[in-house]
Amino acid sequence: MTRRLRRFIYAGAIAMAGLAAGTPILFAHDFFLVPGALSFSSGKDMEILAQSSSRFPTSAGAIAFARIARAVMIDTKGSTPLTDMSHRGTSLVIRSRPAGNGQRIVAVDLVSRSARQTPAELLRWLALEGAADAARHIESGTALQGLDSVTRTDIKHAKTIIDVGRGGARTFSRSSAQTIEFIPLSDPSALRAGDTLRARLEYKGAPLPAISIHASVPAPEDTTQKGEPDLELVSDRAGVVAVPVRKTGLWLVRTIHVVEASRGSWETHWASLVFRAGR
């Protein structure tokens, strides 16, 4: 069963339970960045779409400007703030005009959001969002015992890798200084169908092992068709995940790391990486 289908089934069941109890259930969308072109020309406008959705690469609603905590472009010389933003339909459009050939990383962080839930709602929400292993771990312990409600704070980070012109310095392995991020160990643009992308998942600069990770390709535009099933992966002891690249084109890799910040307070740290395999 794909993650998208699980979300649909769970959403219906949880919504009905919430209505019966008179309690609203809050759902979250994945946050990811989608390059507006295969590659960009030096000195020409570049567009990146900041999307919020459960269906890659579409967006269910435009992200408000006030929700952007940080947006930067990273090259070998450092990072440059990105401030030219507008809305187009359900997308937040980020523009820049990079000069000089070479690879760039675009990284965007959102302002955190918090919600109150019952312990049971938290566990169901985690399962819905693809963090069922975290839900099982929490449920098996004592952290929720004696609590009527908990606070859940969602902290989302997204990055993508783009190419400007031909050749130039490669930046795929540079850190974006996000709290949680995927760092590729090889150049995604050099991948071909049948290759494997290895990427290290880091949290606060340290490798993050044994975390569930999902990899997706774009869903068909025809909503009556089913998308390809997500790849469900796990990072190894060094925090490295191996993504089998079944075909060239856009890929989304994403995860949620759940942290107990204090008694009754939980943080969910979201990370996504969009890359294009091949050129």
CA 128 to chain centre: 15
Give the C-alpha separation, 14 to 11, whole Å: 5
Q: Are 215 and 252 in contact (CB under 8 A)?
A: yes
User: Left if phi > 0, otherwise alpha if psi is -120 to 50, otherwise beta: which for 221?
Assistant: alpha
- Tell me, what amino acid is at 259? V
The structural domains of the chain, with segments of one domain joined by +, span: 3-277
Give the C-alpha separation, 96 to 47, whole Å: 7
Residue 15 dihedral angles phi and psi, to the nearest 5° = -60, -40
**Strand, coil or helix: what is 19?**
helix
Specify the pLDDT at position 28: 74
Task: Kindly state the DSSP code that residue 133 receives in the 8-state scheme.
Answer: H
Specify the pLDDT at position 276: 93
Give the C-alpha separation, 270 to 14, whole Å: 22
Specify the pLDDT at position 27: 61
Question: Which residues are registered as beta bridge partners of 249?
Answer: 277
Specify the pLDDT at position 166: 85
- Provide the strand spans (E) within 82-194: 84-88, 91-96, 102-110, 113-117, 150-164, 180-184
Give the N- to C-terminal CA distance of the chain in Å, as an integer.
31
Q: Are 245 and 193 in contact (CB under 8 A)?
A: yes
User: Left if phi > 0, otherwise alpha if psi is -120 to 50, otherwise beta: which for 90?
Assistant: alpha
C-alpha atoms less than 13 angstroms from C-alpha of 49 in its C-beta half-sphere: 18
Cis bond before residue 184 (omega within 30° of 0) = no
Number of Cβ atoms within 10 Å of the Cβ of 70: 16
Specify the pLDDT at position 228: 75
36-47 in b/e burial notation, b at 16+ Cβ within 10 A? eeebbeeeeebb
Specify the pLDDT at position 8: 44
Q: Where are the alpha helices (DSSP H) in the chain?
A: 3-21, 119-128, 132-140
Any idea of the CA torsion for 61, 259, 33, 64, to the nearest 10 degrees?
40
Degrees (nearest 5) of the Cα angle 37, 42, 47? 35
> Can you read off the two tokens belonging to residue 189?
């643009």
Give the C-alpha separation, 157 to 31, whole Å: 7
Tens digits of pLDDT across the chain (279 residues): 555 545 544 444 444 444 344 444 456 799 999 999 878 998 899 999 999 999 999 999 999 999 999 999 999 889 999 999 999 999 999 999 998 999 999 999 999 999 999 999 999 999 999 899 999 999 999 999 999 999 999 999 999 999 998 889 999 999 999 999 999 999 999 999 999 999 999 999 999 999 999 999 997 765 555 557 899 999 999 999 999 999 999 999 999 999 999 999 999 999 999 999 986
